[in-house]
Amino acid sequence: MDLRRAATLVAVLFLAASVAAQAGLAGASSLYVHGGGDTPSRWADAMVAEFGGFALDWTELAKDRMAAPARGYRLGRQLASQVTTTPLTIYAHSAGAWVAQGLADGLASMPGMPLPTVVFLDPFTAYSLFDWGAGAKRLGRNFAQVTTYYTTLDPVPFTRGKVAVGERINLDADLAPLVKGTPAHWAVVEWYFAQNASAGH
C-alpha cells in the first residue's frame, strides 16, 4: 500500500471514529450528506435545524473533489456499524452519493439490518478518474427505495442522474427560469427541500 492510500485510510478511520464520538448518527433517522469540496454549512446543517437528523461533516475527506467519491464510499462502509435507528433515510448531494452507497453496502452486509432509503440530489456519478461510469452500475443498489433528482443545467461533470436503480427526476424545467450554470448544482438541493418541507420531506 502506498503512503498516500495509507494516509487516506487512516483519515477515513479517524473521521468514522470522530462521527461516532459525536453520537449523532447512531440515533438519527435522517442523514444529510454534503458533496465534494463542500461543507455541511451550505445546506445540511439547516436541514437538521428544521427537520432533525444528523449532518455528516466529511469536509476533510471531500476537499479533493476527484478523490472524494472513493474516500466517501470507504467512509460510508465504516459508518454502517454505527447505525442503530432504522429505517434510515439518506439525503445525499453530489459526491455525497458515494458516502450513501458505502453506508448502504455496509448495512447490506450486516444480517438483519433493514436497507435504507436514499434521495440522491444531483449525484456525482464518477467514482474516480478511471471509473467514470461507476454510478450507472453501482449507485442505488442495496437501498429499499431510491429517488434521484438531477439537472443538466450545470457544468459539473457526471451529474446527469445516471444511477443504477430507482426513479430519476429531471428538474431542468423547474430550475431553468431561475438558475443555470454552476449554481444549478446546488439549486437541486434547495428545490427538493422547498417542495417537500410541508411533508416533513
Which of 20-34, 35-49, 90-104 shows the lowest mean pLDDT across its residues?
A: 20-34
Specify the higher pLDDT residue, 36 or 19: 36
Provide the pLDDT for residue 132. Answer: 85
Looking at per-residue pLDDT, the higher value among 200 and 161 belongs to 161
Average pLDDT score, the chain? 88
Q: How does DSSP classify residue 118?
A: E
Task: Give pTM, 2 decimals.
Answer: 0.88
pLDDT of residue 21: 43
Residue 163 backbone zone (phi > 0: left; psi -120 to 50: alpha; other: beta): beta
CA distances from residue 183 to 4, 34, 119, 159, 189 in whole angstroms, order as listed: 32, 15, 19, 13, 11
- 3-state secondary structure labels for all residues of 128-179: ECCECCHHHHHCCCCCCEEEEEECCCCCCCCCCCCCCCCEEEECHHHHCCCC
Residues 49-76: tens digit of each pLDDT: 999 999 999 999 999 988 999 999 999 9
**What pLDDT does 36 receive?**
94
CB 144 within 8 A of CB 114: yes
**Fold for the domain defined by 3-199:** Rossmann fold (3.40.50)
Is pLDDT at 29 greater than 70 in this prediction? yes
